[in-house]
């Protein structure tokens, strides 16, 4: 069964997608930067940091921001997946294609039929995150 949910965390925690979406601009090391483009998400008062969790065919995918979920949705919605070499070169980070989130995505989620369903789940989850942020 596939579904999604939103949980709230007391502190920000990056996901495997965070580095590839939120580009650091004020420090050489991503985790030590304080400025990102797009910015890291802000906490919702009295709730914390929203995290979209998509349970796709037995695998949980975590997203710390709307931008991360939109990026993954955009990539997975392509009939023919781009190579991780191409995707990692777009970031120009020095990190190789084997560390890219798509390289780490379980193979059972990569067939087109499963990605079609996953994209629908992401659409619903993204809409819910947008409502959370108002």
Average pLDDT over residues 2-26: 93
Model confidence at 99: pLDDT above 60: yes
Most confident of 18-32, 57-71, 90-104: 57-71
Partners of residue 4 on adjacent β-strands: 54
Domain assignments of the chain as residue spans, ordered by start: 3-133
Those residues whose C-beta lies under 8 Å from the C-beta of residue 104, and which sit 6 or more positions away, are 16
pLDDT, residue 94, reads 66
Model confidence at 45: pLDDT above 80: yes
Give the mean pLDDT of the chain: 92
Question: Which candidate, 63, 67, 64, places its Cα nearest to that of 105?
Answer: 63
Average pLDDT over residues 43-67: 96
pLDDT band at residue 1 using 50, 70 and 90 as cut-offs:
very low
CA atoms of 18 and 28, how far apart (whole Å): 16
100-123 tens-digit pLDDT: 999 999 999 999 999 999 999 999
């Amino acid at each position: 069964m596939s579904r999604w949910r939103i949980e709230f965390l007391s502190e920000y925690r990056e996901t495997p997608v965070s580095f590839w979406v939120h580009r650091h601009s004020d420090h050489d090391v991503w985790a030590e930067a304080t400025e990102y483009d797009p910015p890291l998400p802000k906490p919702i008062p009295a709730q914390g940091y929203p995290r979209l969790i998509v349970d796709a065919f037995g695998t949980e995918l975590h997203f710390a921001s709307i931008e991360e979920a939109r990026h993954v949705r955009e990539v997975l919605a392509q009939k023919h997946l781009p190579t991780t070499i191409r995707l990692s070169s777009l970031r120009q980070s020095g990190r190789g294609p084997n560390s890219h989130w798509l390289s780490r995505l379980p193979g059972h989620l990569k067939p087109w039929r499963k990605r079609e369903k996953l994209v629908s789940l992401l659409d619903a989850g993204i809409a819910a995150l947008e409502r959370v942020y108002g």
